[in-house]
Amino acid sequence: MLEFTTIPALRGWVFEQRTAGRRIGFVPTMGFLHEGHLRLVDEARRRTDAVAMSVFVNPLQFGPGEDLDRYPRDLPRDRALAAGRRVDALFVPEAAAIYPPGAEVLVVPGATADRWEGAVRPGHFTGVLTVVAKLFHLVAPDVACFGQKDIQQATLVRRMVRDLDWPVEIVVVPTVREPDGLALSSRNAYLGPEDRQQAVGLSAALRAGHDAWTAGERDASAIEAAMRARLAMFPGVRPEYISLVEPEALYPVAEALPGTIAMIAARVGSTRLIDNIILGQGLV
Ligand code: PAF
């Protein structure tokens, strides 16, 4: 695995791949890798000839008072995991390379970013889209893989690519879970033992919603009520939103159809967690 810290070095690698006629797959990450990230690599590898991964904790997507400073980092471990999964090029830029002094142009999403995560984290998706746009320009991928757990992020990246006519295929890869159902996330590292037990409430609530749907319930508010009832069994979980939405712009729906997304965000102790399932697919 090659590792690059500068933009010219990365661009040199990209040029070589293109010249050799190789299709490039890309997995952007903020590091502290887990099996969820590595499945994105597997998917990129399956679809392309050369896989690039970035590890960059993007300051622009963290609001004041969020966890930028304590976001978990372990580059040596990330390096070993990425190499073990046959990443070809690891890009680990300095913040100054991505945001040189005086940089002021941003990629500002539309109203789809104002709902759900965007409502609680103003500016978050501007930060995400700006860095993803920059990384797409640098890596020029044919395919980029994103995790389903951050479904609003994946939806917005897809919209950016569509609205700006970008020739990159966005692939959303199902969430990887612990055996008890907890969605893998770098932020799970913040959970103490008691919070970790309570955190399973999110996936349990999603499962309850999916069970209700599988049993024939189509009324979104009844399914949301089933989710809330299950979540109430986990007193350490404080829900922020529980909603059924359509997949294009994440508007709430009244009727739950196959493909409708059940989303949940909650605080467990001081940790904020999100999770979702797609009706008809369940907790894969
Ligand atoms: O999902 C993440 O880890 C980040 O939001 C991303 C896409 C790497 C952009 O910083």
Determine if ligand 1 sits within 6 Å of the CB of residue 61. Answer: yes
* Closest by Cα among 182, 217, 216 to 201: 182
* Closest by Cα among 230, 205, 219, 221 to 283: 205
Structural tokens at position 84:
């073990």
Determine if ligand 1 sits within 6 Å of the CB of residue 93. Answer: no
CA 42-177-276 angle, to 5 degrees, is 100
Q: What is the pLDDT of residues 56-104, one digit of tens each?
A: 999 999 999 999 999 999 999 999 999 999 999 999 999 999 999 999 9
Atom of ligand 1 nearest to the CA of 132: 9
| Positions of E strands within the chain | 2-4, 24-29, 50-55, 89-91, 143-147, 169-173, 237-245, 261-268, 271-278
Q: What is the pLDDT of residues 120-138, one digit of tens each?
A: 999 999 999 999 999 999 9
Structural domains for the chain: 2-173 (3.40.50.620), 186-276 (3.30.1300.10)
In 3-state terms, what secondary structure has residue 246? coil
Q: What is the pLDDT along the chain (284 residues), one digit of tens a residue?
A: 999 999 999 999 999 999 999 999 999 999 999 999 999 999 999 999 999 999 999 999 999 999 999 999 999 999 999 999 999 999 999 999 999 999 999 999 999 999 999 999 999 999 999 999 999 999 999 999 999 999 999 999 999 999 999 999 999 999 999 999 999 999 999 999 999 999 999 999 999 999 999 999 999 999 999 999 999 999 999 999 999 999 999 999 999 999 999 999 999 999 999 999 999 998 88
Report the DSSP beta bridge partners of residue 90: 3, 53
pTM over 0.85: yes
Angle between helices 220-231 and 193-214 (to 10 degrees): 150
Q: How many whole angstroms from 130 Cα to the centroid of ligand 1?
A: 11
Catalytic (active-site) positions: 37
Atom of ligand 1 nearest to the CA of 58: 10
